[in-house]
């Protein structure tokens, strides 16, 4: 969330940045609300000063045995006026905070302009696309191997899957392999966080209030996490780090839950878009001048997992019209899916700058400097487990219906060479 003082000082800058995201000018309304709020604050201060002066005068008059009834009536009027203004002040503050909290982050200067995903820019490709005669999609490959959508639908409805036997083991193997890679090779600290969050944590990372319909909410006013970004990033909430404590790099393998509101008709079959899935998340908390460098590092950590799995992929930078709400700049890593004959997103790595830090009040102190600075936060998938399983099935599929186990996963699969259909 942005500081209204900065918006007052540079309205043209903010409106020009939000225009890149397809928004009409926002600052006139914000400044108007702020001016009304500030006017009320001035009135309140004047009335409170008058009330205080009158109260003192009443004490003096009474001490001398005088009649202070008229003055007491004036004080009573001041109190009524103050109460009315305080209510208006609370209402305007709430309105301003709500308006500000729904506005997206401003984009970095080097983000390409565009209005849709068609204008994202490809940066690089890796790997050779496999030659597969009549490639199948993952659900046709997986169902004979233990991918059960029918059972999941009976229990939970659409957009769920039940994995059995070797398919369940493959999912577990992928998650453990990713977690080991991020912790043992890339220096991320493993965290096992709660999966239920209070509203203030969801607010801190930007899911609330704007995207409440995308979340699952419990009867206890908890929200199921849509990604481990929420608990990991909020570890920095209300903290002041020393520069020596940064960067703080964390990773977690968790279940994630998304309502997929607005995605009717998209990827309705299979594991691409589900209500519940596993993901390995990476989060970094860094000094402000280190976030660009950390962003490049993070995306390389995501790419490195796909390289180890020998899965062809490409990396793109999202244009201004396709970026997430809290991001200044986002790289997407997309894996090749032979069954769909296209690349699909498997990791999204975002630099949020100080956008989340302002909401969470997460700061740091430089050595020899008394001032506190907002940290920069970054998050990225390292990777989405379900989509990686999909990519393994499709890229390693064999004509007889079996699936070769990637070399790096064999130790996690007890040495199993391939997944086979058992009649």
Domain ranges of the chain: 4-101, 117-419
Confidence at residue 279, expressed as pLDDT on a 0 to 100 scale: 98
Q: Report the first-to-last Cα separation within the chain, whole angstroms.
A: 57
User: Which residues, other chains included, contact 236 with Cβ-Cβ below 8 Å and sequence gap of 6+?
Assistant: 248, 285, 357, 360, 362, 375, 377
The two tokens of residue 348 are 């999204």
What tens digit of pLDDT does each residue of 31-70 get?
Answer: 999 999 999 999 998 888 877 776 777 677 667 677 767 7
3-class state of residue 8 by DSSP: helix
Which residue, chain included where needed, has tokens 């391939």? Answer: 418
Range of lowest pLDDT (2-6, 262-266, 332-336) = 262-266
Average pLDDT over residues 340-348: 97
Residue-level pLDDT at 219:
97
**Nearest to residue 261, comparing CAs of 228, 212, 227, 209?**
212
Rounded to an integer, the average pLDDT of 307-328 is: 97
> In the prediction, which pLDDT does 61 show?
67
Give me the pLDDT at residue 81, please.
Answer: 87
What are residue 374's DSSP bridge partners? 363
Percent of the chain with pLDDT over 90: 86
Q: What is the CATH number of domain 4-101?
A: 1.10.287.40
Helix (H, G, I), strand (E, B) or coil at 93: helix
Q: Look up residue 194 and give its two tokens.
A: 């709660």
* Res 264 pLDDT > 70: no
- How many other C-beta atoms can be found within 10 angstroms of the C-beta atom of residue 26? 20
- In the numeric block, the tokens 């990991």 are attached to 232
Neighbouring C-alpha atoms within 13 Å toward the C-beta of 85: 19
The residue with tokens 């004080």 is: 75
The owner of tokens 């009320």 is 40
Tokens of 29: 């309304």
Output phi, psi for 102, to 5 deg: -95, 0
The average pLDDT across 194-207 equals 97
For position 53, what pLDDT does the model report?
73
Q: What is the secondary structure of 270-307 as a DSSP string?
A: SSSS-SEEEEEEEEEEE-GGGHHHHHHHHHHHHHHHHH
pLDDT tens track for 226-249: 999 999 999 999 999 999 999 999
Pick 117-419's CATH classification: 3.30.70.260, 2.60.40.10, 3.30.930.10, 3.40.50.300: 3.30.930.10
> How far is residue 338's CA from residue 353's CA, in Å, rounded to a whole number?
36
Q: What DSSP string runs through 356-378?
A: HHHHHT-EEE-TT--SEEE-EEE
Residue pLDDT, tens place only, 349-370? 999 999 999 999 999 999 889 8
Inter-residue long-range contacts of 158-166, CB under 8 Å, 24+ positions, other chains counted: 158/268, 159/260, 159/268, 159/273, 159/274, 159/275, 160/274, 160/275, 160/276, 161/271, 161/274, 161/386, 166/416, 166/419
């Amino acid at each position: 969330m942005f500081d209204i003082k900065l918006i007052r000082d540079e309205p043209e800058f903010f409106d020009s940045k939000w225009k890149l995201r397809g928004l009409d000018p926002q600052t006139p309304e914000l400044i108007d609300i702020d001016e009304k709020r500030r006017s009320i604050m001035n009135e309140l201060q004047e009335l409170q000063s008058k009330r205080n002066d009158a109260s003192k005068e009443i004490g003096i008059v009474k001490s001398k045995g005088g009649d202070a009834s008229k003055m007491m009536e004036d004080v009573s009027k001041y109190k009524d006026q103050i109460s009315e203004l305080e209510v208006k002040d609370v209402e305007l503050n709430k309105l301003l905070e709500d308006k500000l909290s729904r506005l997206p982050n401003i984009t970095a200067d080097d983000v390409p302009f565009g209005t849709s995903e068609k204008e994202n820019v490809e940066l690089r490709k890796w790997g050779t696309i496999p030659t597969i005669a009549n490639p199948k999609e993952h659900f046709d490959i997986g169902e004979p191997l233990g991918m059960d959508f029918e059972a999941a639908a009976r229990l939970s409805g659409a957009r769920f899957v039940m994995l059995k036997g070797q398919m369940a083991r493959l999912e577990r193997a992928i998650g453990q392999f990713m977690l080991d890679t991020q912790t043992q090779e890339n220096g991320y600290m493993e965290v096992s966080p709660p999966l239920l969050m209070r509203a203030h944590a969801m607010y801190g990372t930007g899911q609330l209030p704007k995207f409440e319909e995308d979340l699952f909410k419990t009867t206890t006013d908890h929200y199921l996490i849509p990604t481990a970004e929420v608990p990991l990033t909020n570890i920095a909430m209300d903290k002041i780090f020393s520069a020596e404590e940064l960067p703080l790099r964390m990773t977690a393998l968790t279940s994630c839950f998304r309502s997929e509101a607005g995605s009717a008709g998209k990827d309705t079959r299979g594991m691409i878009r589900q209500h519940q899935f596993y993901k390995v998340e990476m989060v970094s908390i860094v000094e402000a001048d280190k976030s660009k460098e950390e962003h490049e590092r993070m995306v390389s950590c995501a790419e490195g997992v796909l390289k180890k799995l020998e899965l062809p992929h490409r990396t793109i930078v999202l244009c201004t019209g396709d970026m997430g709400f809290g991001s200044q700049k986002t790289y997407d890593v997309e894996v090749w899916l032979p069954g769909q004959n296209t690349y699909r997103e498997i990791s999204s790595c975002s630099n949020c700058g100080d956008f989340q830090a302002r909401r969470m009040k997460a700061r740091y102190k430089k050595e020899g400097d008394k001032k506190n600075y907002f940290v920069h936060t970054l998050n990225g998938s390292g990777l989405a487990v379900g989509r990686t399983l999909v990519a393994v099935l499709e890229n390693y599929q064999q004509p007889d219906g079996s699936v070769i186990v990637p070399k790096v996963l064999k130790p996690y699969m007890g040495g199993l060479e391939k997944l086979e259909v058992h009649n």
